[in-house]
Structure 1
Amino acid sequence: MPFSFPKVYPILDSSVIPSAGRKEFLRRLGGALTNAGVTLLEYRNKKGSNQELLVDAAILRAAMPASSVKLILDDRVDLVRQANFDGVHVDSGDAAPAEARRLLGTAQIVGTYGGTEALLPGILHEPADYFSIGPVFATTTKQTSKPPIGVEGVRKLRKEAGASAVLVAVGGVTLETAAAVLDAGATTIGVAAAIFRAADPAAEFRQWMMTLGSGPTA
Structure 2
Amino acid sequence: MVKKEFPYRLYLVISEEACVHHAYLKVVEQAVKGGVDLVQLREKNSCTEAFLQKAILIKNLLDQYHVPLIINDHLEVAQKVEAFGIHVGTSDIPPTQIRKNWKKVNCLGYSIEDLQQLNTQETHVADYLGISPIFNTPTKTDTIIEWGLIGIETIRATTDKPLVAIGQMNAGNAQEVIKAGANCIAVVSAICAAQNPAKAAEHLRNEIEKA
TM-score (norm: length of structure 2):
0.88
Given the alignment, which residue of 73, 85, 88 partners 1:87? 85
**Amino acid of the residue matched to residue 120 of structure 1?**
L
CA contact 1:26–1:59 (8 Å) conserved in 2: no
CA deviation after TM superposition for structure 1 residue 209, in Å? 1.1
CA deviation after TM superposition for structure 1 residue 191, in Å? 0.9
CA contact 2:149–2:180 (8 Å) conserved in 1: yes
In structure 1, what is the equivalent of residue 9 of structure 2? 7
CA deviation after TM superposition for structure 1 residue 117, in Å? 1.9
**SS of residue paired to 1:63:** helix
Given the alignment, which residue of 131, 143, 146 partners 2:144? 146
Query: Could you say if the C-alpha distance between residues 192 and 79 of structure 1 is closer, same or farther in structure 2, counting changes exceeding 3 Å?
Result: same
Q: Distance in 2 between matches of 1:117 and 1:179?
A: 23
Query: Could you say if the C-alpha distance between residues 118 and 6 of structure 1 is closer, same or farther in structure 2, counting changes exceeding 3 Å?
Result: same
In structure 2, what is the equivalent of residue 21 of structure 1? none
CA deviation after TM superposition for structure 1 residue 214, in Å? 8.7
Given the alignment, which residue of 25, 28, 44 partners 1:27? 25
CA deviation after TM superposition for structure 1 residue 67, in Å? 6.2
**SS of residue paired to 2:12:** strand
RMSD after superposition: 2.3
Q: Distance in 1 between matches of 2:32 and 2:170?
A: 21
CA deviation after TM superposition for structure 1 residue 95, in Å? 1.1
CA contact 1:61–1:85 (8 Å) conserved in 2: yes
CA deviation after TM superposition for structure 1 residue 103, in Å? 1.9
Q: Distance in 2 between matches of 1:150 and 1:214?
A: 20
Q: Percent identity?
A: 23
**SS of residue paired to 2:141:** coil
Q: Distance in 2 between matches of 1:35 and 1:134?
A: 26
CA deviation after TM superposition for structure 1 residue 151, in Å? 0.4
CA contact 2:13–2:42 (8 Å) conserved in 1: yes
In structure 2, what is the equivalent of residue 168 of structure 1? 164
Structure 1, unmatched stretches of 5+, are: 19-23
Query: Could you say if the C-alpha distance between residues 32 and 145 of structure 1 is closer, same or farther in structure 2, counting changes exceeding 3 Å?
Result: closer
Question: Does residue 1:209 correspond to 2:211, yes or no?
Answer: no
TM-score (norm: length of structure 1):
0.86
Query: Could you say if the C-alpha distance between residues 67 and 174 of structure 1 is closer, same or farther in structure 2, counting changes exceeding 3 Å?
Result: closer
CA deviation after TM superposition for structure 1 residue 13, in Å? 2.7
Deviations 1:177-211 (Å, cap 9, x if unpaired)? Answer: 11111111111111111121111122101111122
Q: Distance in 2 between matches of 1:63 and 1:113?
A: 26
Q: Distance in 2 between matches of 1:124 and 1:76?
A: 17
Q: Distance in 1 between matches of 2:140 and 2:123?
A: 26
CA deviation after TM superposition for structure 1 residue 153, in Å? 0.9
Q: Distance in 2 between matches of 1:14 and 1:149?
A: 27
CA contact 1:43–1:72 (8 Å) conserved in 2: yes
Number of residues paired by the alignment?
Answer: 208
Structure 2, unmatched stretches of 5+, are: none
